[in-house]
Structure 1
Amino acid sequence: MTATYRVFGLDVRFPREVPTLRGARIGDDTAADVHVAFAPVAPLPVMETVNDDLDTSWNAEGLTIAVEEVGRFLIRGGHTIVVDPYPGVSQAEIDLYLAGSIMGAILHQRAIMPLHCNAFACGGAAVLLCGDSGAGKSTLAAWFEGRGRPLLTDDVCAVTFDPKGTALGHPGMPRLRLWDDALEAMERIGQAACSVPWADGKFELEMSSDRVRQPLPIAAIYHLREAEPDSGFAITALRGLPAIDAITSSIYRRRIGDLVGHTAGYLQDTARLATGTPVFRVERTWGMEHFNREAALIEDHAIALCSQIAA
């Protein structure tokens, strides 16, 4: 049985259901942009290890990524993924990489820039929350969803430009992954959630049914980082090279983009995005005791900005 899902602006057809993508399922009558198959993938000499866990190789066939104790993946032409699971690996572990790093490689092959961020809707536009893992992107997204602001994506947002040059954020993962302390703080303990088997204390839950399903113009990008010990919360506008650097540092699996020959393309895209979209650095104090106050300040700032843009 096949199952087709619309994520990152692409229709992706799998030979089976993918639970983590359930909220993005569409009919199988559409012509898919990307096809996923399960078949043997030949082992190749490792040419580079990306992000400590992706052993990559490349040749005329495409990009091969091997993940220890998970499997090998062949990503070809931006339209085909071949999966060769290792014996005994769980479906959940395969799906983790399929919906994450492997789809990131597909986007890079298609010259679509993936940003490591969450995104929510504000006044008919998308607000992106970028930053390193652990910066609080998903927790902030859950907070905004709880305030009635529909979400676009969790973890990765595909960015394209329309014919007028407007940057668009595309809906991606239809779920949120939160740590147990964030679930408790967001008062979502009773909500249906599945434990993430490879991360003790982390849970996956579906986004609200009113999540955004169409691309939205990007109103702003907030780059989250930890505040210095002697300073507090601050939102600072970034322009020029600092804005470009903030976006470039948020490109998801950026090294894969280099390996598939898209370095010049994403540098051009980041400059274009930084020129036409407000970019801000948000310095936050880590810890749930500060969370609600700082989230409200980000919300106030985003609402004011989106109101100005709409006017």
Structure 2
Amino acid sequence: MQVRVGAVPDDPETPDHLGPTWRLVGRRFYLEVPGVLRLMVEGGRDIVAEPLEAASDADIAPFILSTGFAAILHQRQLLALHAATVAWQGRAIALCGATGMGKSTLAATLCRAGAGFVGDDIAAIRTDAPDGVPMVWPDGRQHRLWADAIEHLALAERQGEPIRSHMRKFHVAPETAAHPVEVALPLAAVVLLSSRDRNVPPGPPQIERMPLVDAAPMLRAEIYRPYLARRMGNDPLLFMQTAALLNRVPVFRLDRTRGLEYLDEGAALVIDAVTGAA
């Protein structure tokens, strides 16, 4: 993949699909965030980012690494899940959930317990390996944690620059930064994070293995930027990729109260469940 900063050319062709801030011309993707950047992604390999007005590198980077990276993966026809990913005993665990569900915080807790860091927000998965085992690629990123999670996990010494200039969310070097995961790993499990109602008193988390009939629609809901995949015509392929994953990989649901309580207990449940399913 190549990312460069430069002028995004105007495309004379009529868009095939058009959204509030994006458009698709064939499989070429354009994004415009007012006052921040214009972005073009094509060929499953090239991203051109054009900063607007006084936008800094820190302002444009989150859009490149989220929507831009997702467009690359969908152009390559890979399965992209909204997940933080860690490595345990040579295999990957994908922690899926909506924004704000605590994927990155749980991943950091697992790394503190000895897991390796694989990726923060998007899991790029291939399901066409000869032996049928889904493989996850590391993305070379760091944790992205809110200030209260950094304090709770005692990671202040690893704290880096803010994600965006106005946010109290920061890049944080993983515990295993000196020994990064650099190769694709077989996917051991998917863990779907669910949150109890805010009115429920805090209590220990619970984990359960999900039957396929329940796991399938919930996993489909975790595809990253699904509107791009659909508009690129990837829906039939995504159905087959999801089915292939579910045929080989157990899916668990981790039910927790919101907040930072019981993080260690949640991490222990994940490790025990994945180890027991091996």
Tell me the TM-score normalised to structure 1 length. 0.80
Give the match for residue 9 of structure 2: 41
Give the match for residue 107 of structure 1: 73
CA, structure 1 residues 87+160, in 2 after alignment: closer, same or farther (shift >3 Å)?
same
The total of aligned residue pairs comes to 269
CA, structure 1 residues 199+302, in 2 after alignment: closer, same or farther (shift >3 Å)?
farther
Q: How does 1:47-86 map to 2 (within 5 A)?
A: 47-49=18-20, 55-60=21-26, 62-86=28-52
Give the match for residue 217 of structure 1: 186
Q: How does 1:4-153 map to 2 (within 5 A)?
A: 12-14=1-3, 36=4, 38-42=6-10, 47-49=18-20, 55-60=21-26, 62-153=28-119
Mapped partners of 1:260, 1:77: distance in 2: 12
Shift of the alpha carbon at 1:192?
3.9
Aligned residue among 215, 225, 228 for 1:253: 225
Shift of the alpha carbon at 1:170?
0.7
Mapped partners of 1:294, 1:280: distance in 2: 12
Contact 1:151 1:211 (C-alpha < 8 Å) held by counterparts? yes
Letter in 2 for 1:211: P
Mean Cα displacement is larger for which, 228-237 or 144-153?
A: 228-237
Cα-to-partner distance string for 1:249-283 (whole Å, 9 max, x where unaligned)? 11111111111111111121111111211001111
Contact 1:156 1:173 (C-alpha < 8 Å) held by counterparts? no
Contact 1:115 1:250 (C-alpha < 8 Å) held by counterparts? yes
Give the match for residue 32 of structure 1: none
Is 2:154 aligned against 1:182? no
Paired-residue identity, %: 29
Mapped partners of 2:95, 2:207: distance in 1: 13
Contact 1:227 1:284 (C-alpha < 8 Å) held by counterparts? yes
Contact 1:41 1:73 (C-alpha < 8 Å) held by counterparts? no
CA, structure 1 residues 13+64, in 2 after alignment: closer, same or farther (shift >3 Å)?
closer
CA, structure 1 residues 294+82, in 2 after alignment: closer, same or farther (shift >3 Å)?
closer
Letter in 2 for 1:222: V
Aligned residue among 166, 169, 172 for 2:133: 166
Contact 1:239 1:274 (C-alpha < 8 Å) held by counterparts? no
Contact 2:39 2:50 (C-alpha < 8 Å) held by counterparts? yes
Letter in 1 for 2:182: R
Mapped partners of 1:40, 1:152: distance in 2: 31
Mean Cα displacement is larger for which, 103-112 or 73-82?
A: 73-82
- Unaligned runs of 5+ residues in structure 2 are none
SS of residue paired to 1:289: coil
Contact 1:41 1:82 (C-alpha < 8 Å) held by counterparts? no
Mapped partners of 1:302, 1:210: distance in 2: 22
Mapped partners of 1:120, 1:77: distance in 2: 29
Contact 2:80 2:122 (C-alpha < 8 Å) held by counterparts? yes
Mapped partners of 1:287, 1:298: distance in 2: 17
Mapped partners of 2:84, 2:226: distance in 1: 17
Letter in 2 for 1:93: D
SS of residue paired to 1:200: coil
Contact 1:247 1:270 (C-alpha < 8 Å) held by counterparts? yes
Letter in 1 for 2:164: P
CA, structure 1 residues 74+211, in 2 after alignment: closer, same or farther (shift >3 Å)?
same
SS of residue paired to 1:128: strand
CA, structure 1 residues 61+252, in 2 after alignment: closer, same or farther (shift >3 Å)?
closer
